[in-house]
Amino acid sequence: MSHVNVEGVPDFVASWSAAKIPGFVAAVIKRWRREHGSLLPRSFVMVMCPHVEVNAIGGLPAGVVDLTDPRLRCRHFTGCNKPYLVLFFTGDDADERRAKVQSLLPWSEGYSVQLRDHAAILRFVDATEEVEADPGQVTRIRTLRDLMATGDLVRVMG
């Protein structure tokens, strides 16, 4: 794939969009093809989210795991070594699942993708900056220092 055309990205998203990073989307698709040995369908939906944001919410939410195919999930680094989670959605309900997943992933961007012979056309669908906090969800993983300060580490090892 030699060319990626990104359409309809609002200015407020363009300032932080991974899709706008030259070569990023093409590299993600090439990597997926190389690792899986098969082609993506000509039309699909894609979501990209900085992996640091996934870590900040305590890992991949259960809803994301339930709504995605593990074979259509990948992690790829930008040119400045920032890891991104990239999700591909296929099938008749692809956009519906994308919308549900994006509501769970902060700083995520979603696109409708059309693959051509030597190009990919990405049409902006939606972006999510902040997600609503789930009061039952752990939003911070306790560090070793936290465990030592509370004495929990000693209780576990004792």
Tallying the residues shown for the chain, one arrives at 158
Q: Facing residues of 75 across strands?
A: 85
| pLDDT per position as a tens digit, 29-51 | 888 888 887 778 899 999 999 99
* Tokens standing for residue 102: 């994006």
| pLDDT per position as a tens digit, 101-130 | 999 999 999 999 999 888 999 999 999 998
| 80 and 113 Cβ atoms separated by less than 8 Å | no
Q: Report CA-CA distances (Å) from 136 to 12, 57, 61, 106, 113.
A: 31, 12, 12, 17, 34
